[in-house]
Structure 1
Amino acid sequence: MQILIDYTWDHHFGLDIGPYKPDFRSCSIPEDNLIIINTNWKNKEEVPFSFAHELGHFMNGDDGIRYYDSATINNKCERGANEFAVKFILNFCKRYGLTFSNPITFCEQFGVPTTLEDLVASYLN
């Protein structure tokens, strides 16, 4: 998580990170330059991915309030944020010499929703 926090601060984005109610979805609010991360999300293993996903909204220039939801893969903005998050995690893996050939294993290891298995597979190949 620290690499995500550092990346957020390096890009001068505001960050509110903490334990909210388990059903409170992490979100990005570009108009307020703020990313809110719920460390108590009901699917705790997804917290780092959701953080990278919310960063993706900022890096992709998305506007409006965007709430993390592991089921939103068809919306263009959400897909772009998912792509950013997967690439961010893959860059982390490359930096530390971690390799994966199986997208399911990658998803399980990094809390990536398995609904994104095809997306992960496209970047692993």
Structure 2
Amino acid sequence: MNNNTAVTYLLNLALQHNIGVEFMDLSPSTPPATSVSQRLIAMNANWHNRDDIPMQLAHEIGHIFNKDDERSCLYFSPTKNGIEGKANQTAIALLLKPYLESKEKEDVSSADFITTFHLPIALEDMVVKQIADFYKR
């Protein structure tokens, strides 16, 4: 699975769940944002590192799936705590399912997943746990 395939998958998932996604021409450093109540995600089409976009989009979808309180600032952060951490957990789960289904079990590694989706290394323990949980099913 590459980044374009992942973004297509996530856009289809958003559509299936009645979530609007708009790519906007913003400053290269402006992060994406979400309105949970409006089920709308604003993505930055000019983001300085395009490899970040699948995780950012999955993270923003995660805020909506998690029904996060939008009185807090909802934007991508590599944190493992609070609502941003929970959105990261949901994002990893959203990306992990099609990633794992596209690979043989012996070809799966947390390092490859992290590299493929340009995740911060701080999220490695979440990835390792979710891969292990996937194969326990």
TM range (shorter): 0.7 to 0.9
In the TM superposition, structure 1's runs of 4+ consecutive aligned residues that sit over 4 Å from their partners are 98-101
Rounded to whole Å, the distance in 1 between the matches of 2:12 and 2:24 is 16
Q: Gaps spanning 5+ residues in structure 1: where?
A: none
Q: Who is 1:119 aligned against?
A: 126
Is 1:67 equivalent to 2:75 in the alignment? yes
Query: Is the CA contact (8 Å cut-off) linking 1:13 and 1:34 kept in structure 2?
Result: yes
User: What is the aligned-residue identity percentage?
Assistant: 28
Q: Report the TM-score when normalising by structure 1.
A: 0.86
Equivalent residue runs for 1:19-38 within 5 Å = 19-38=25-44
Equivalent residue runs for 1:42-81 within 5 Å = 42-64=48-70, 65-70=73-78, 72-74=79-81, 76-81=82-87
Query: Is the CA contact (8 Å cut-off) linking 1:46 and 1:113 kept in structure 2?
Result: no
Q: How far did 1:101 drift?
A: 4.2
Is 1:83 equivalent to 2:84 in the alignment? no
Number of corresponding residues: 123
Rounded to whole Å, the distance in 1 between the matches of 2:104 and 2:21 is 28
**Paired residue type of 1:102:** S
Rounded to whole Å, the distance in 1 between the matches of 2:86 and 2:25 is 26
Q: Report the TM-score when normalising by structure 2.
A: 0.79
Query: Is the CA contact (8 Å cut-off) linking 1:45 and 1:111 kept in structure 2?
Result: yes
TM-superposition CA deviations, 1:26-67 (whole Å, max 9, x none) = 111112221111132223211101100100000011121401
Larger Rg: 2
